[in-house]
Structure 1
Amino acid sequence: MSWQAYVDTSLVGTGQLDKAAIISVAGDSTWATSAGFTLSASEMKAIADVVTDSPGAKDKAFADGLYISGERYVIARAEEGSIYARKGREGVAVAKTNQAILIGHHNEEGVAGNATQAVEKLAEYLVGLKY
């Protein structure tokens, strides 16, 4: 399956997310994304730094927020390899695999727990495939 198919089918296709992206674990390239869900180089690097526990990255993100597709999100939870952040009733769930970072966005009607579960389920599957 292509990376774009994972975004379209396994993330957005769940109905729990309205936009999603898959980036490299280094935060230096986009592998697949939904239309209109573009992350800048600095946004990808900041996300990668937090999920890979780069020194000081998590504290900075908690203090300054996390920017995704030009929007500022407040981090609600950042654990080893995952992030959940909100902007009002919208939210983003992020999960790291061995080689990739999955980012899923839910709109105001979305349920945070369901969105997080969709992202984490695909992450677990990819880890099982050694990705």
Structure 2
Amino acid sequence: MSWQDYVDQQLLATRCVTKAAIAGHDGSVWAKSENFNVSKEEVAKIVQGFDKQEILTSSGVTLAGNRYIYLSGTDRVIRAKLGKVGVHCMKTAQAVVVSLYEDPIQPQQAASVVEKLGDYLINCGY
């Protein structure tokens, strides 16, 4: 399965996320949904935020030029929101899964889908 297949079939097809991307820890985007123009710099900042959450606490999470308010995070998961759009990101051994979801999708629905794929990638060595 290609990285694009993971985005299309494991994330978008569930209808629990509206936009998604998978990228390396260096920020390079491996695959993304259509019209989700997330930059290498934006992803690299998120990856830094898993270890240094104060980076995101002060400046928020920026994806595709939109700034979201940082809500919470761990060394594995980051959550942010702006209005009706939420962000759920998960870090794996070599990648980060980035997703956006919009009302009426509930945060736990997006979290479940993103973390299920993240756990699968971890089990596969990614």
1:59 to 54, 72, 78: 54
Letter of the structure 2 residue corresponding to residue 39 of structure 1:
V
Q: Residue 90 of structure 1 contacts residue 110 of structure 1 at CA under 8 Å; is this kept in 2?
A: no
2:72 is the counterpart of 1:77: yes
What do you get for the CA RMSD once the two structures are aligned?
Answer: 1.0
AA in 1 matched with 2:110: A
Task: Please name the residue that 2:5 is paired with.
Answer: 5
> How far is 1:108 from its partner?
2.3
Give the superposition deviation at 1:7: 0.1
Give the drift of 1:60. Answer: 2.1
Superposition deviation, residue 26 in structure 1: 2.2
Name segments (4+ residues, structure 1) moved above 3 Å: none
Deviations 1:31-67, CA, capped at 9 Å, x for gaps: 000011011232111111112x1xxx41121111110
Alpha-carbon distance in structure 2 between the residues aligned to 1:69 and 1:117: 23
**Residues 1:113 and 2:85 aligned together:** no
Aligned match of 1:98: 93
SS at match of 1:17: coil
Structure 1: gaps of 5 or more residues? none
Aligned to 2:40: 41
Q: TM-score, normalised by structure 2?
A: 0.95
Aligned equivalents of 2:70, 2:48: Cα separation in 1: 14
